[in-house]
Chain A
């Protein structure tokens, strides 16, 4: 069985500050890992993914995440937060064809 833990249901940062959203997973075999973002009144959209190869993956809007097998983590970062980054972020893990999602983290960006 696989599971995803997102630490912190809400993360608040100032505009221009580092964004760090944490995700830890459990999976018996190397998984596919994803971050999705949901802006208000929109559907989830894929931000970035890790399947194989390079462990540091870059996504849209300046976000990136690093797959650390030894820590079973896939934390999402962005060097400098922008007001438009305010949204809900979901980490997901997949070993089959149906992903398992975390509970989501709401990112709040203060001016």
Chain B
């Protein structure tokens, strides 16, 4: 089975530009999660989709971040306009159901390293 795929793997953009990150979850996984790790800090939850609906977006830092999951398949996370503090690694994870995820049954992607200069 294919894993969770994220691209690009790396992105370097200038402050004020827009960047869109993409995540393709495992086929059939209704639950999709975005996390972010700022260098040297914790991995922090951003939001959770169940199919195409946002179940929990309490971790989204501000309105410069927009996540979508049209059709309940892949998801995008857009940062517009990007600021220096947005630099970090953005992880996506998926699980078949929320209980599986709650017991550690996430499958994580390898992340997108975003650098804002």
A binds B: yes
A97 and B102 within 8 A (CB): yes
Q: How far in angstroms is the closest Cβ of chain B from A25? A: 12
A32 contacts B91, C-beta separation under 8 Å: no
Q: What is the CB-to-nearest-CB distance from B104 to chain A, in angstroms, rounded to a whole number?
A: 4
- Please state if A46 and B110 are interface contacts (CB–CB under 8 Å): no
Do most interface residues of chain B lie in helix, strand or loop, or is the interface mixed? mixed
B63 sits at the interface (CB 8 A): no
Q: How far is the CA of A42 from the CA of B110 in the complex (A)?
A: 4
Of residues 17 through 69 on chain A, the ones whose CB sits less than 8 Å from some CB of chain B are 32, 34, 36, 41-46, 49, 51
- CA–CA, A36 and B35, complex, Å: 14
Most A Cβ at <10 Å: residue of B33, B48, B103, B109: B103
Chain A residue with the shortest CB-CB distance to B9: A41
Contacting residues, chain B, for A90 (C-beta < 8 A): 43
* CB <8 Å contact, B102 and A44: no
Q: Do residues A97 and B104 form an inter-chain contact, with CB atoms below 8 A?
A: no
Q: A41 to B110, Cβ gap below 8 A?
A: yes
- State in angstroms the CA–CA spacing of A4 and B42 once bound together: 9
Binding site for B on A (CB under 8 A): 4, 9, 32, 34, 36, 41-46, 49, 51, 90, 92, 94, 96-104
Point out residues on B near A: beta carbons under 8 Å.
3-4, 9, 33, 35, 37, 40-45, 48, 56, 91, 93, 98-99, 101-111
* Between-chain CB contacts (< 8 Å), 24 pairs: A9-B40, A32-B104, A34-B104, A36-B108, A43-B3, A43-B91, A43-B108, A43-B109, A43-B111, A44-B108, A46-B106, A49-B103, A49-B104, A51-B103, A94-B102, A97-B98, A97-B101, A98-B56, A98-B102, A100-B45, A101-B42, A101-B43, A101-B44, A103-B40
